[in-house]
Structure 1
């Protein structure tokens, strides 16, 4: 999997699993509820197992927050070319999950403090397009952090999880069976 995903997180790498019980082999995606999101849903967009080449991205916590608080079904997409948007994307081009908590905290607070001030525009207004904007104290400048798009962005599928797990199981299973038999025959 690391060969296909150059910048895979440990969460992604550890999610596909298999378990051997007697003559049964179970292949599954580990669903760690402590991650706030089902691993199977998280990994669905890049999974090529069903033959599709592109799939819509999974809505993020930020999208759910915007839908609940502002009633918009638009999807927030970071703007890497803007001063505010750059801080939410790492070198690999992935969204920094922990960093997204800052605008959510600012937008939910009745009295926001600190240097970061965010505001949401759901429809074009006063020359600003829909999005999550950051206001800077210096010169009262604003920068678009997340654009709100109507259509869910799509991602190219890259990994055949079922195929990879089966291939890995074929490689490991004989050794596991051999070790179990050796222990049983002692």
Structure 2
């Protein structure tokens, strides 16, 4: 079964996804000097996107029937039920797993293996949406990076890869939420 790119719910505008506090977090992601700070900021931005998406679906009587979720996992589950493509959900789930490891003491740092898994899931999400270019086609330049010039994903360091993969995820989510599409997008169920 395919998920449609849009439901009949109100469409979010790009401005809705970039309020001043999120714009500030996005700026801080690229300039942060530590992996933990990057991960926590990415998580906050992703959670904000889920909240914005849910605000377009929990309308009318559904606001009474479906309480506003407070935790990231509940927001992700409800967003998936409302049509968030599985591949995007799996990438966000990996981001949440990494954050929970860090926050709940199961890892004192962001592990390269976790970042690589996050990158694989973001790459799969990109490939699932028609019209989007693969992650390998892009490069990123970070102000706080010791590397000069634009960097490709992989091989330049954990923090750069985390920022890169999250930038791709954020762009994909924003594109999926904001841009009306006529085609099917991602698989809804496996």
TM category (shorter chain) comes to: under 0.3
Structure number with the higher helix fraction is 2
- For the pair shown, the structure with the greater C-alpha radius of gyration is 1
| Higher normalized strand content (fraction of residues) | 1
Q: Which has the higher contact order (CA 8 A, sep 6+)?
A: 2
